[in-house]
Amino acid sequence: MEKKESYESFIGKLTIVFPLYNEERRVTTSLKRIGNFYKNLRAFPKLVFVLDGCTDKTKTKLVDELEKQELSSKSRILEYSPNRGVGYAMHAGLKEVKTDYVLFSDFDISTPLSELRNFFSLLTAYDVIIGSRWLDRERVENSFFRRFLSSTSINIIKIILGINLSDTQCGFKLFKTNIAKEIYAKRHIDRFGVDFEIMFIAKNKGYRIKELPVVWKHEKGSKVGWLDYFRTLLELFRVRWNSLKGAYS
């Protein structure tokens, strides 16, 4: 009988990729949250911080705080200029991943890293496990307006791309690394639309996708503006057009 992998063993085979863009004000709070997560572990995931064309003091503060939290030896910082978008940043970070599993997480840690324990229990049955803010709304702290906007966006995504998922845009996604690299190699979108593009590719390739409800709290200082919502809507049609051209085959 095959021995079941332990949670600690899984954590030791995990890399967490964090895209960052001008997060100077958030570095201390986020690194403390990451440090607290590490305190409860015997094995440790690797950390990759991707600085996506930052123009503030994000790197300086990140280096200092990693040292304070004793995480420097477990971390790698990538940086480039100019800003290319979260999709580009995620792919850049993924190229550095050598472990069996990879988690993409928003740097604000709006979903606690402790949610990984629930994801781990389903790893043998699924290839991709994604967090959802809609499967259990009592676990989500968000304004009515943002709930409405998110709900409307998901319905549009379902109609245009035929993805039967409740929340493609939640920034907490766990992949088997070899599968993530195959999927991201087909990516064409650099910005926020990458989330539904990746799920569209994974679905069409027949990979097993599971959604799990997660704790999620809106953190102030979001970089998503009204123009980004408009651009992301256009990216939906771009994904559909790419698919018709066979770009994801």
249 in any annotated domain: no
Between CA 51 and CA 33 the distance in angstroms is 19
pLDDT above 70 (res 212): yes
Q: pLDDT band for 232, please (50, 70, 90 cuts).
A: confident
**What confidence score (pLDDT) does residue 40 get?**
83
Enclosing domain of residue 54: 7-244
59 in any annotated domain: yes
2 in any annotated domain: no
pLDDT, mean of residues 65-73:
95
pLDDT digits (tens, 9 = 90+) for 104-154: 999 999 999 999 999 998 988 999 999 998 876 665 555 555 565 666 677
pLDDT digits (tens, 9 = 90+) for 150-196: 666 777 888 889 888 988 989 999 999 999 999 999 999 999 899 99
Instruction: Decide if 46 contacts 99 (C-beta within 8 A).
Output: yes
Q: What is the pTM of this model?
A: 0.91
pLDDT, mean of residues 96-105:
98
At 90, the amino acid letter reads M
Between CA 19 and CA 150 the distance in angstroms is 21
Percent pLDDT > 70 in the chain is 87
142 in any annotated domain: yes
78 in any annotated domain: yes
pLDDT, mean of residues 40-58:
95
Q: pLDDT band for 1, please (50, 70, 90 cuts).
A: very low
1 in any annotated domain: no
**Cα distances (angstroms) measured from residue 68 to each of 33, 123, 187:** 13, 33, 36
157: closest CA among 149, 173, 110, 138?
A: 149
30 in any annotated domain: yes
What domain count does the chain have? 1
**What confidence score (pLDDT) does residue 164 get?**
87
CATH of the domain at 155: 3.90.550.10
219 in any annotated domain: yes
Q: pLDDT band for 2, please (50, 70, 90 cuts).
A: very low
